[in-house]
Structure formats: C-alpha cells, structure tokens
C-alpha cells in the first residue's frame, strides 16, 4: 500500500474507528462482559472514540480499549500515519522526525513512537527461531564503528544475537536481546525464550551456547573465532550486528541506553518483514490493535 492509498483509506477519524471496530469485532459487536450482540452507540466529544453500550448488561466498550490507543487524546488519523511512517522507513523514524512531519509536540511524538515500538516488541515475542540458527553476542553502546564485536566501554551493553537461515543459507528471521551480562543463566534464559528446541546451532564454541544446545537437544556446530573460516561461517550474524549498529547510530545517534531494547525490537520487527515492502504498515497496524495498553498515556 502506498502513502496515498493509506491516506485515502484512513482519510477521516470515522474511517479509522470503523477499521478498529472491524478488527475488534469482525463478525459484529460482542459484549466482552456478557457476550450480548446488541448495543447503543454513545458519541463523545472531540477526538475520543465512541462507546458501545451493551443493551443486555449496560457494559460500555471502546474500539481503543486495551490497545496501544487506549485512552488516547491524539487523533487516530495521526496515530495511523505515524504507524505507516515508522513501518515503511527502512532507516527508522525518530520521534523528532515524527514531530516535524506530523506537526506534533515532541513529547507527544515520543509517546506515540514509544507505544508503537512496544507493539513491535510484543509481536516479536510471539516467535522463536528454528532450524539452522547462528548465535553470537556483541556490545552495543555509544557511536559504534563496524560490527564492534566484543568491544567494551562504560556505556556499552552486551546483546545476544540469533539469525535463522533457510536452505540457501540466507537469513529468515533474527532476534537481538540486550542483557545485563553474559553469564550462563542470563544467556540461557534468552535462548529459552528466543530459540526453538532441537534444530542446528552454530556458535564460536562459547560454553554458554554449548550448554544451551544441550538443553535444547540441538546439534551444535562450532567454529572458533580465530578460525580462518569464521568470517564466512558467521557472515549473516555479523552482518545483522553491523546493520543493527548502523540503524541505532543513524536514527538514534547511539543514545538511549534505557530504551536500547526497544530500538533493537524495532530493527528486528522491520528486518523480519523486509520482504513485505509497504505491506508492513498494515501488519504493524494490526500489531498495535492486538498489543496490550502500555504506560505513558497520551
């Protein structure tokens, strides 16, 4: 979908509300309290979405309740446009850029950006890597140069990285998980959440990956870091690390340690859907509808 098509589809606040209604109740209204199917519509002033009051029990529901749009005072048209801009820009769209392009105060743009990233994070958490998986870790922080493998600095944090490969050796999906340290229990927790059991793992032989492969009943292929073949074997995991660092440096200027995981989640979400082109915007909109409400109400 092009920008003009997106604007045409969501040209009015009513069009946005109707879209959310269809997403929430695709076969017609169903009361979340009593499952009743008849309702009255209660219009509210301003940009606030209407309420739908169940005729059977009086429970009131909204199309924005329980989504990232929960209790928002910002126009849904603005929300939908922010979602499109963030989704389709390969380099990402900072809150400052959203502020300029949508005519928002910076703090409002920041909150929208934050919640959309949270929706990306929620959707990423649904999936695990399977099959052939390259695993490694790197340090992120400050302005980086190149892959920055195992670099250390006062503002750097370790990140566990995984890349699943298809039968042609090309990347399918990835994860990047910022962790407080690379101790065994910390990394094993990441691997349990991010990688399916069994399959084939490739690593540099670090004991934690050997332990993880054993726990996951996965075959473990080891290529030591100083092996001449290592750059070829770990081509894609090193490429992903380099691309992620370039993304964070370019869009967020390497800042924001407290939000580093959200920046990584944004990069992962877009990378894993890189073949969708502008269709990624529709997928992100659905993710925002299905994501739970997050703090920092707008």
Residue 237 CA neighbour count, 13 Å, CB half: 26
Of 143, 177, 204, 136, the residue nearest 267 (C-alpha): 177
Tracing tokens 């566990």 back to the chain, one arrives at: 160
Three-state DSSP string of 219-288? EEEECCCCCCCHHHHCHHHHHHHHHHHHHHHHHHCCCCHHHHHHHHHHHHHHHHCHHHHHHHHHHHHHHH
Q: What pLDDT sits at residue 92?
A: 87
Q: How many CB atoms lie within 10 A of CB 139?
A: 20
Dist. CA 59–CA 42, nearest whole Å: 12
- The parts of the chain modelled with pLDDT lower than 50 are 144-148, 150-154, 297-298
Please state the separation of Cα 62 from the chain's center in Å. Answer: 25
Max distance between CA atoms of the chain, in angstroms, equals: 72
User: Which percentage of the chain shows pLDDT scores above 90?
Assistant: 81
pLDDT in tens, 3-19: 999 999 999 999 999 99
Q: What pLDDT sits at residue 47?
A: 64
- Residue 15, judged by CB atoms within 10 A of its CB (0-12, 13-18, 19+), counts as middle
Q: What pLDDT sits at residue 153?
A: 47
Numbered ranges of CATH 3.30.420.10 in the chain = 132-275
Of 243, 232, 251, the residue nearest 271 (C-alpha): 243
Of 280, 246, 294, the residue nearest 113 (C-alpha): 294
Of 208, 211, 207, 203, the residue nearest 230 (C-alpha): 203
The pair of structure tokens assigned to 148 is 């920055």
For the domain made up of 132-275, give the CATH fold. Answer: Nucleotidyltransferase; domain 5 (3.30.420)
Q: What pLDDT sits at residue 113?
A: 95
CA-angle at 171, arms to 291 and 200, nearest 5°: 100
């Amino acid at each position: 979908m092009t920008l003009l098509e997106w604007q045409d589809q969501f040209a009015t606040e009513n069009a946005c509300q109707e879209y959310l209604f269809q997403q929430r109740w695709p076969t017609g209204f169903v009361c979340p309290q009593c499952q009743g199917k008849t309702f009255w519509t209660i219009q509210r002033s301003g940009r606030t979405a209407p309420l739908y009051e169940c005729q059977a029990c009086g429970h009131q529901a909204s199309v924005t309740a329980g989504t990232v749009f929960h209790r928002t005072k910002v126009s849904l048209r603005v929300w939908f446009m922010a979602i499109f801009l963030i989704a389709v820009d390969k380099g990402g769209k900072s809150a400052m850029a959203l502020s300029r392009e949508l005519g928002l105060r910076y703090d409002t743009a920041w909150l929208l950006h934050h919640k959309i990233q949270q929706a990306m994070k929620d959707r990423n958490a649904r999936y695990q890597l399977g099959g052939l998986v390259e695993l490694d870790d790197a340090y992120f922080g400050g302005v980086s140069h190149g892959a920055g493998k195992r670099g250390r600095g006062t503002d750097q944090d370790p990140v566990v990285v995984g890349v699943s490969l298809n039968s042609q050796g090309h990347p399918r999906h990835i994860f990047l998980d910022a962790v407080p340290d690379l101790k065994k229990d910390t990394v094993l927790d990441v691997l349990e959440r991010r990688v399916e059991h069994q399959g084939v793992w490739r690593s540099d032989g670090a004991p934690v990956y050997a332990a993880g492969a054993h726990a996951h009943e996965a075959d473990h292929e080891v290529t030591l870091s100083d092996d001449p073949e290592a750059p070829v074997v770990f081509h894609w995991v090193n490429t992903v690390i380099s691309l992620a660092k370039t993304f964070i440096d370019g869009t967020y200027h390497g800042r924001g340690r407290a939000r580093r995981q959200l920046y990584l989640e944004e990069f992962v979400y877009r990378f894993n859907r890189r073949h969708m082109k502008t269709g990624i915007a529709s997928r992100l909109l659905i993710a925002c509808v299905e994501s739970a409400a997050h703090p920092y109400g707008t």
